[in-house]
Structure 1
Amino acid sequence: MNIAVYPGSFDPITNGHLNIIERASTIFDEVVVGILVNPDKKGLFSIEERVELIKRVTSHIPNVRVESFSGLLVDFMKNNNIKVIVKGLRAVSDFEYEFQMSLMNKKLSQDIETLFMMTSAEYSFLSSSSVKQVAAFGGCIKGLVPDEIIQDIMSKFCD
């Protein structure tokens, strides 16, 4: 079985993330969305909430599995028999960082490959950070994130 992991924090998942997941699901038998648990960062959403949100917005894609993990990505991959990392790129600036990460992962595990996918042009400006900033100031996030999670995001900023 040809399995890939699409790792990230997804805090929150954006339409750009979803675009990469949907496209990767047409290439691989299974795509595992791997949500990194970073104990040093306090996210907008808990890990459990992120898993639930991503499961909700990917429920229409039968070959997508959502899991959280902590520690090294290469260890998660070994434990799940995954050989390919999918990384989305928005711009050249993303490539430099992601290229360094791919080299580090290759150093840690020789049998791992990284596949870079360019995001669709309509999402090239989009990041979880920008979504949070717009939402924090009461701006409209429609079209930036899947419709079914807009209320979940906005409720984080309402008292």
Structure 2
Amino acid sequence: MKRAVFPGSFDPITLGHVDIVKRALPLFDEIIIAIGVNADKKYLFSLEERLQFIETTFASEKSIKVKTYTGLTAVFCETEKAQFILRGLRNTTDFNYEQAIAQTNFEMTGIETVFLVSTPGVSNISSTIVRDVLRNKGNASSLVPKAVITSKK
């Protein structure tokens, strides 16, 4: 079974994340969307809310699982018997950042990272921008799945 982990904080999940996952579905038998938990980070949405947003967004996709984890992504992949890490790239800045992480993960565990380039319609979206829009009561409906918009925040 080809299993990939798509890690992130998903605070919140965006249409850019959804784009990457949907386009990756034909490549893998199973994709685990893995919400990383960092006790030092201040999140806009609780872990429970982020989990619910993702589960709701992908409710009809049986090959998608949603889990949470702490610690190193590569170690989580080993625990889940995932052979691949899935990452989305919006631009060259993302690539430069992700390349070193991918190489380190491979050196540590032999787990390959698969990069998908975002489609142009969502390449401008980042969780940071979305959080700013939401904190300032802006309309984020073109940036996030419906599950995020229908939440209380």
Q: TM-score range by the shorter chain?
A: over 0.9
SS of 1:32's partner is: strand
Q: 1:52: Cα distance to partner?
A: 1.4
Q: TM-score, normalised by structure 2?
A: 0.96
- Find the aligned partners of 2:136 and 2:47 in 1 and give their Cα distance: 24
Q: 1:139: Cα distance to partner?
A: 1.3
Deviations 1:56-115 (A, max 9, x none): 101121100000000111111111111100100000110000001101111211x21000
Moved segments of 4+, more than 4 Å: none
- RMSD over equivalenced CA pairs, Å: 1.0
Aligned to 1:148: 147
Aligned to 2:71: 71
Structure 2 matches for 1:32-43, cutoff 5 A? 32-43=32-43
Which consecutive unaligned segments of at least 5 residues does structure 2 have? Answer: none
Q: TM-score, normalised by structure 1?
A: 0.93
Using CA pairs under 8 Å that are at least 6 residues apart, name the structure with larger relative contact order, 1 or 2: 2
Aligned length: 153
Aligned to 2:3: 3
Structure 2 matches for 1:61-100, cutoff 5 A? 61-100=61-100
Q: Is the 8 A contact 1:22 1:61 kept in 2?
A: no
Structure 2 matches for 1:9-28, cutoff 5 A? 9-28=9-28
- Find the aligned partners of 1:85 and 1:130 in 2 and give their Cα distance: 24
Q: Does 1:60 align with 2:45?
A: no
- Find the aligned partners of 1:68 and 1:58 in 2 and give their Cα distance: 16
Which consecutive unaligned segments of at least 5 residues does structure 1 have? Answer: none
